[in-house]
Amino acid sequence: MRAEATEAELAAAGGLLTVDLDAVAANWRAVRAAAPGAEAAAVVKADAYGLGMAAVARRLAGEGCGSFFVADANEGATLRTLLPGIAIYVLNGLFPGTGALYRKAGLTPCLASMAELAEWRDEARCAGETLPAVLHFDTGINRLGMSAQDAAAIAEDGALSDGVDVRLIMSHLACADDAASPKNGEQLGRFRALLEALGPRFPGARASLANSPGVFLGPDYHFDLVRPGVGLYGGNPLSGRANPFRPAVTVEARVIALRTLTAGETVGYGAAWAAKGPARIAVLSAGYADGYFRALGRASAPESGAGSQEKGGQAHIAGYTVPVAGRVSMDMLALDVSAVPEGLIRRGDMAELIGPTISVDDVGLRAGTIGYEILTSLGRRYIRRYVSKAHGTRDEPGGQV
Ligand SMILES: *Cc1c(COP(=O)(O)O)cnc(C)c1O
């Protein structure tokens, strides 16, 4: 763990990233409440979607979460050094020649092919141990997972899983964010058929299908274990519906300059934005190097203004939500603060780029992407603060975790 940021470092920070660990914990408890019959695991891949795996996983383990999913074995090995007692599942499977690493770090691979199953079986034989595994089946996303034919073969021939303790049988939904999609029911039907075929061979195995949006498809989708990721971090997993989760991330950037423009003057590279009349601009110390996508820049609105409503970033400052003006630079961006009464914004103030007012999903929409990508792109230059009423605030200078 790094030392806390000093007052001087805080004063010198262009941007602050605050992670509300109480919100993460509350979001995990909300998943538990929504799927009361199932174990709630936590997906902490990609550094807990950019929030910081160490702080997030420690807090969730403290809340009682005992099962964590990562993408690869290196993430898993890092998590293992932090939390010796938890179950760690590796979603992307078993990479060639890595069996020993999984075994030594106590990682459970989500085996997604017969080849992976064979390698894990060999690892068990060589080690003279029974090794835990998840069997991952494809039910329609066509990304990772074994087929129904593979399931039939595994059910038929016990030698194929010799030395492998199948703890969990899982699949992954392609369209869970859209409750009306017929794909959900199709995948559910295929998953049930797989469980039926494999049940006699692995009577102790549990089942898992739902990611964050899958939790809200109802109890049919919960099975024994649910695997929420984005919802824990405050992203809305549901398309076109209200977010059942609390925001957990706030990004603020500092006002480093204020300027007044006359009609026709332009802002930023490419002179893409021009003042239509007298305008006031606030320049912030954050840009695309901080994960504030260049796609959030805003050219001058066409005269009609039609169709441009959802494009271009917004920030919240001094009680006002204001638009980005011009292109986003690497380390700076500009806001059109003409609508904010003069004198309310001073040099050194902070503007909210993501947080309680500007949702991560709205930023994603305006950048032409999704909240997931905004979270996992959060820059490393911010001073990070991990806030918790119960456990106090901890600040960390920017940089690699
Ligand atoms: C990333 C992932 C999850 C978590 O998905 P969210 O939509 O973030 O909840 C669950 N299962 C698998 C297989 C994943 O790859």
Q: How many CB atoms lie within 10 A of CB 179?
A: 15
Q: Give the position, in ligand 1's atom list, of the atom nearest the Cα of 144.
A: 13
pLDDT value at 2 more than 90: no
Query: Phi-psi region for residue 113, left (φ > 0), alpha (ψ -120 to 50) or beta?
Result: beta
Average pLDDT over residues 159-176: 98
Ligand 1 binding pocket, CB closer than 6 Å: 43, 91, 172, 211-212, 227-231, 237
- Return the pLDDT at 391: 73
pTM surpassing 0.85? Answer: yes
pLDDT digits (tens, 9 = 90+) for 243-289: 999 999 999 999 999 999 999 999 999 999 999 999 999 999 999 99
Q: How far apart are CA 204 and CA 210, in angstroms?
A: 20
Nearest CA to ligand 1 atom 13: 172
- Return the pLDDT at 307: 47
pLDDT digits (tens, 9 = 90+) for 63-111: 999 999 999 999 999 999 999 999 999 999 999 999 999 999 999 999 9
- Return the pLDDT at 301: 67
Q: In whole angstroms, how large is the CA radius of gyration of the chain?
A: 24
pLDDT value at 46 more than 70: yes
* Distance in Å, CA 273 to ligand 1 centroid: 39
Q: Catalytic annotation on 320? A: no
* Distance in Å, CA 125 to ligand 1 centroid: 31
Q: How far apart are CA 304 and CA 339, in angstroms?
A: 20
pLDDT digits (tens, 9 = 90+) for 114-136: 999 999 999 999 999 999 999 99
Which one-letter DSSP state was computed for residue 289? G
The residues, ordered by sequence, that sit 6+ positions from 13 with a Cβ below 8 Å of its Cβ are 5, 254, 382, 383, 398
Residue 202 in tokens: 């692995």
Catalytic pick among 49, 102, 269, 389: 269
- Return the pLDDT at 244: 97
Strand locations in 49-160 (E): 67-70, 87-90, 107-111, 131-136
Q: Catalytic annotation on 45? A: yes
Q: Give the position, in ligand 1's atom list, of the atom nearest the Cα of 45.
A: 1
- Return the pLDDT at 401: 35
* Contact criterion met (CB below 8 Å) for 49 and 287: no
Catalytic pick among 45, 49, 221, 372: 45
Q: How far apart are CA 254 and CA 14, in angstroms?
A: 5
- Return the pLDDT at 302: 64
Q: Which of 43, 29, 39 is nearest to 212 (CA)?
A: 43
Query: pLDDT category, 392, cuts 50, 70, 90?
Result: confident
* Distance in Å, CA 29 to ligand 1 centroid: 17
Q: What is the dihedral of CA 140, 142, 145, 146, to 10 degrees?
A: 80
* 3-class secondary-structure state, position 323: strand
- Tell me the CA distances in angstroms from 45 to 54, 72, 79, 149, 359, one per residue in order: 11, 8, 10, 30, 21
pLDDT digits (tens, 9 = 90+) for 343-370: 999 999 999 999 999 999 999 999 999 9
Per-chain mean pLDDT for the chain: 95
